[in-house]
Amino acid sequence: MSLMDALDASMPGVSPGVFDEADFRAISEITHKEVGIVLSAGKAMLVYSRLAPLVRNANCATFGAYVIRIREDATERTKAICALTTNHTFFYRESHHFEHFAREVRPGYVQRLQSGGKVRLWSAGCSSGEETWSLLMTFLGEDSSAGARIAKTDLRLLASDIATHAIAKARAGTYRTEDLKPMPEPLRRNWTRSTGEDLLGDWPMQGQFDTIFCRNVMIYFDNPTKERLVHRFAEKLAPGGWLYIGHSERVTGPALDLLSTQGPTIYRKRAA
């Protein structure tokens, strides 16, 4: 089946004069070039439904006209890419990661902080912040007094995502009560800091991180992009630092020289 046939089958009633194969290919190429996300032919309906409101708001009669607009207008291009980003997440998702972090990793970090050292954590591709807050609450622990003391140490948690609307929600830190139900009850408290950075662009961070969470983000990238990104993560980890990735993701390529497998989708940087 050709891409045009796939478009016709998935979107009956959509005029080719409004949205056609050339438009889909152009949007796919722009999205891949900007943020590394791969849009297969099966995503045609998603592209149409997510971008149609933006096409109308931009006063463009066709997707072809909108393609021209986003090629020339960086602000509109960012809006389009954000609209195509899936922001599905929830608190304490893949709980075994947080349980491992609390049991195996956290005690050493707390000891380091208490001795005057620093700890740097990164929630890469944080979406709307549920992962970020879950990680921070896990770190601060179940003892509120001890958590308050930890929060005053040299601990920093960076949260980043390409979708600016998701970052806005993460920064606000406001969620429905039912959204918090997966969290262990004693952990529902405290703070975070967020910034919106493109994972594939230049990173402004100068230092290294002790732990990086980047889960269910790379499923949207092709394999060369995944390998480059994971290798950059590995280089950004301090020796002995931890990397947590999504349950369906794997570390391949040059990063394997720097990371060792410690559990299901859990990796640790080898000592220098």
Which residues are catalytic, by number? Answer: 50, 161
CA–CA gap between residue 88 and residue 80 (Å, rounded): 18
Q: Could you tell me which residues are beta bridge partners of residue 154?
A: 118
HEC string for 164-182: HHHHHHHHHCCCCHHHHCC
Asked whether 61 and 188 are in contact (CB, 8 A), the reply is: no
For the chain, what is the radius of gyration of the CA atoms?
21
Residues whose CB falls within 8 Å of the CB of residue 107, separated by 6 or more in sequence, listed in order? none
3 state SS of 239: strand
Q: What is the DSSP string of 212-248?
A: EEE-SSGGGB-HHHHHHHHHHHHHHEEEEEEEEE-TT
